[in-house]
């Protein structure tokens, strides 16, 4: 499921590998709360970078379509909602594949 969500979102292969490593580290049971928060921050930062990249170079993927909705939707989707939606979809796909 994580691969499918990554493809739908348009996450490049190199970023997929990094996100896979980070989410693997995040799900360890011996992490402190601070470690989990730091991993969350790194994952969110990578996905925010994807949004910025897709804003500059749109593709036929869900992130590009969400950016279009944000930029052309007359305020229907805030920047925070856009980022939160991409992060949530990524985590949902990753959690579904680990259960």
Express each pLDDT in 2-43 by its tens digit: 788 889 999 999 899 998 889 888 888 899 999 999 998 999
pLDDT at position 26 is 84
98 band by pLDDT with thresholds 50, 70 and 90: low
DSSP type of residue 73: T
Q: What is the pTM of this model?
A: 0.80
83 band by pLDDT with thresholds 50, 70 and 90: confident
Domain holding 28, by residue range, is 2-97
pLDDT at position 87 is 86
What domain count does the chain have?
1
pLDDT tens, position by position, 50-79: 999 999 999 999 999 989 888 887 667 788
Token pair 């052309």 in the structure block, residue: 72
> From CA 94, how far away is CA 88, in angstroms rounded?
10
Per DSSP, helices labelled H in 1-99 are 2-9, 13-26, 33-56, 62-72, 79-97
């Amino acid at each position: 499921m994580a691969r499918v969500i990554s493809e739908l979102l348009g996450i490049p292969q190199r970023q997929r590998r990094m996100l896979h490593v980070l989410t693997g580290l995040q799900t360890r049971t011996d992490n402190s709360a601070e470690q989990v928060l730091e991993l969350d921050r790194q994952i969110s930062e990578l996905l925010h970078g994807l949004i910025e990249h897709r804003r500059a170079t749109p593709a036929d993927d869900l992130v590009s379509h969400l950016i279009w909705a944000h930029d052309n939707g007359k305020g229907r989707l805030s920047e925070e909602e856009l980022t939160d939606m991409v992060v949530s979809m990524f985590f949902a796909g990753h959690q579904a594949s680990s259960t």
